[in-house]
Amino acid sequence: MAHDTTPSPAAFDELDPHHSGVHASHVIVGPMQLRAVLAVLLVFTAMTVGFAQAEQWASAYFGVVLPHWVNVAGAMSIATIKALLVMAIFMQLKYDNPVNTLIMGVTLAALAIFICFTGMDLFNRSQVYDWKAGPIVAGGTGGQLWGGEGISENKAITTPVGESVALHARNEYLKRLRDKIKATHPELDDAALEAAALAQFEADKAATVGHGHGGHASHADTGNTANRSRPRRGLSGALDTAATGNAHAAPAH
């Protein structure tokens, strides 16, 4: 129709040149659509939890250990889908002025750049450490092969007296145990007292850590039997009072 393509001058409102009117940007998202999105979000939450549980279960009972990136990629993909749904429907970006989507897109791109550059640095630290440590030359004690403070990867948080906070916490607990045992058994000599405190420490540790919350790796760590053993993963054992094995191999279980 003619007047659709060429509106008459009378129909032109200079205060509203694009005929946006009062309601133009008010999109109504109905209850059924909102409920559907909620249902999908809850299902995806169940899926991500189920995925993590299934992975632990496979690892604990069948020894099937999926590569670590599978766990991360699975959980993060599901989270991303959930986030996109919330932004598109609940936050109405799908129906909104595209400028708002552009703002979020640019923000997320900036965030991706931060994380990418952080990752590039992190995954190349070993080269940087090697380079900073300089060439290995004959002589010296070899005690400072990594160059010194500031570039050591495992510099622990320390108390003002230079002790690891975690080690300090452990020693304070042992001190309290020794005091408690001494109060009830004053006849013990220092060696017996120390042994009793350490034994109590291990028993308390098994009672506290052993049950866990059904948290991650809590079952996988109990894989040691008479016929097979699982080596400690990446832990120095520096804070462990037991010579070998892990906390779950302790008695009281």
Partner 1 sequence: MSTPHATNAASPTTAARWQRYVHGHHWRTQAEEFDGCKLGFWLFLATEVLLFGGIFCGYAIFRVLYPTAWAEGSSALDWKIGAFNTAVLLVSSYTMAMSIYCIQTNKISRARWNLAVTFLLGLAFVILKLALEYTPKWSGYFFVLDPALHHHESMIVEGKTAFFGLFQFVEGYGGKRPGMLFTYPFAVDPQVPVWWAIYYCGTAIHAAHVLIGMTLIARVWHLAGKGVYGPTYYAGVEITGLYWHLVDLIWIFLFPLLYLIH
Q: Which residues, 96 to 125, sit near partner 1 by CB under 8 A?
A: 96-97, 99-100, 103-104, 106-108, 110-111, 114-115, 118-119, 122-123, 125
Tokens of 227: 């016929």
SS3 track for 43-104: HHHHHHHHHHHHHHHHHHHHCCCCCHHHHHHHHHHHHHHHHHHHHHHHCCCCCCCHHHHHHH
Binding to partner 1 by CB under 8 A, coded x per residue (else -) over 143-162, reads ----------xx-xx-x---
Q: What token pair was written down for 207?
A: 């009672």
Minimum separation from the CB atom of position 190 to partner 1 (A): 21
CB of 138 to partner 1, least distance (A): 32
CA distance 25 to 34: 19
Q: Go through the chain and tell me how many residues it has.
A: 253
Residue 17-56 contact track with partner 1, rule CB under 8 A, x = bound: ---xxxxxxx-xxxx--xx-xx--xx--x--xx--xx---
Nearest to partner 1 of 67, 135 (CB atom)? 67
CA dist., res. 59 & res. 65, Å (int): 5
* Contact stretch for partner 1 (CB under 8 A) within 1-9, 139-147, 163-171, 190-198: 163-171
The whole-angstrom separation of Cα 175 and Cα 181 is 10
Question: What is the end-to-end Cα distance of the chain in Å, rounded?
Answer: 85
Q: Restricting to residues 223-242, which ones interact with partner 1 according to CB under 8 A?
A: 233-235, 238-240
Residue 133 or 174 having the CB closest to partner 1? 174
Scanning 131-139, 143-151, 183-191, 200-208 for contacts with partner 1 by CB under 8 A, the matching segment is 200-208
